[in-house]
Amino acid sequence: MNSLFFLTIFLVFIFQTSVTGVDIHYPFTTLSGFDLFHKDNITTIHFPSYGDLTVKSISYDRRKIDLLDPKNCVPRVFLNLNLTLTPFQYYYVLQNYTYLNCSTTLPHTNFMEVPCLSDSNSHVYTVDPQVSIPSSCKRVKTVAIPFKYSPYISDNSLGLRLTWKLREPEEIKQGNKTRDSYTARNTVFGLSICFVVMATIVGIIKVHLFTKNLHKKEEQLLGDF
Ligand SMILES: *[C@@H]1O[C@H](CO)[C@@H](O)[C@H](O)[C@H]1NC(C)=O
Ligand SMILES: *[C@@H]1O[C@H](CO)[C@@H](O)[C@H](O)[C@H]1NC(C)=O
Ligand SMILES: *[C@@H]1O[C@H](CO)[C@@H](O)[C@H](O)[C@H]1NC(C)=O
Ligand SMILES: *[C@@H]1O[C@H](CO)[C@@H](O)[C@H](O)[C@H]1NC(C)=O
Ligand SMILES: *[C@@H]1O[C@H](CO)[C@@H](O)[C@H](O)[C@H]1NC(C)=O
């Protein structure tokens, strides 16, 4: 009986370990077009609209990935990164901002120049789309992004937190497949348990009957004397 008990525990353990870890790697799969690259302990992810971003951390449970820009210019990432055709979206609430490219500097009191996008001839600003465009400026693009540029809160990762949509259609199908095989496995498991239990019961009954018969025979033998 003891060995049977341990066998059952062992089986339960095996089944549990094989069930955990189902499609843990979505959306970072070749299927979705987003592979993670590892090199010299640095993990990067490639976005066609921008280029490579460094992976700081990933939480599969909370569906979030923290990135940082190896080129140290998050406003440029915001300007170019287009997540429309990817499984990803910004983790934060977005707001539209207009990027301006100006030939002269604008008054500091109202406008903050983005240093990493500017040089001595062009001065770049992120402004509210309602702001009337000064004559020395051209509108580059209006984009929905988490933050406009601020010198006080600028580092190479602020705002670069993404989340991903639940699943692509083919992943849902795969999910169904794994769920189906999971169900099948559970059924097989349940049936084996039933079988083991029944075999045990039959065994116990047999032993019981055998000893009963033995007693009967003994009684008969004793009765004969
Ligand atoms: C990667 O990290 C490990 C452990 O932190 C370290 O021993 C190893 O030297 C690192 N390799 C590189 C290329 O930085
Ligand atoms: C992002 O890409 C989509 C599809 O290619 C396009 O329709 C959209 O205008 C782009 N968005 C921006 C802000 O460039
Ligand atoms: C940004 O502007 C576009 C076009 O006017 C609009 O469709 C979109 O909803 C706006 N996005 C946000 C986050 O306000
Ligand atoms: C701003 O304009 C200058 C000159 O036309 C150009 O070289 C630069 O790339 C532009 N910057 C942005 C962010 O569009
Ligand atoms: C996946 O299973 C759900 C119900 O379990 C069903 O409604 C859905 O149509 C299935 N999807 C596919 C792609 O088979």
pLDDT at residue 216 tops 90: no
Q: What is the mean pLDDT of residues 156-174?
A: 74
3-state SS string for the chain:
CHHHHHHHHHHHHHHHHHHCCCCCCCCCCCCCCCCEEEECCEEEEEECCCEEEEEEEEECCCCEEEEECCCCCHHHHHHHCCCCCCCEEECCCCEEEEEEEECCCCCCCCCCECHHHCCCCCEEEEECCCCCCCCCEEEEEEEEECCCCCHHHCCCCCCCEEEECCCCHHHHHHHHHHHHHHHHHHHHHHHHHHHHHHHHHHHHHHHHHHHHHHHHHHHHHHHHC
Which two three-digit tokens encode residue 69? 């820009």
pLDDT tens string 131-155:
999 999 999 999 999 999 988 877 8
Q: Which residues pair with 42 in a beta bridge?
A: 39
Q: What is the mean pLDDT of residues 190-199?
A: 82
Higher local confidence (pLDDT), 200 or 215 = 200
Closest atom of ligand 3 relative to the 95 alpha carbon: 13
Q: What is the mean pLDDT of residues 6-29?
A: 49
Q: What is the mean pLDDT of residues 4-19?
A: 48
Q: Is the CB of 94 under 6 A from ligand 3?
A: yes
Q: Is the CB of 74 under 6 A from ligand 2?
A: no
For the chain, the average pLDDT equals 81
Q: Are 68 and 157 contacting, i.e. CB atoms less than 8 angstroms apart?
A: yes
Q: Is the CB of 84 under 6 A from ligand 2?
A: yes
pLDDT at residue 89 tops 60: yes
Each domain of the chain, given as residue ranges in start order, spans 1-21+169-225, 27-167
Higher local confidence (pLDDT), 7 or 119 = 119
Q: Is the CB of 39 under 6 A from ligand 1?
A: no
pLDDT tens string 44-86:
999 989 999 999 999 988 889 999 999 999 999 999 999 998 8
pLDDT at residue 93 tops 60: yes
CA 155 to chain centroid, in Å, comes to 25
- Residue 34: band (very low, low, confident or very high) from pLDDT cuts 50, 70, 90: confident
Probe target for ligand 4 pocket from 81, 100, 101, with the most ligand atoms within 8 Å of CB: 101
Q: What pLDDT, on a 0 to 100 scale, did the predictor assign at position 24?
A: 39
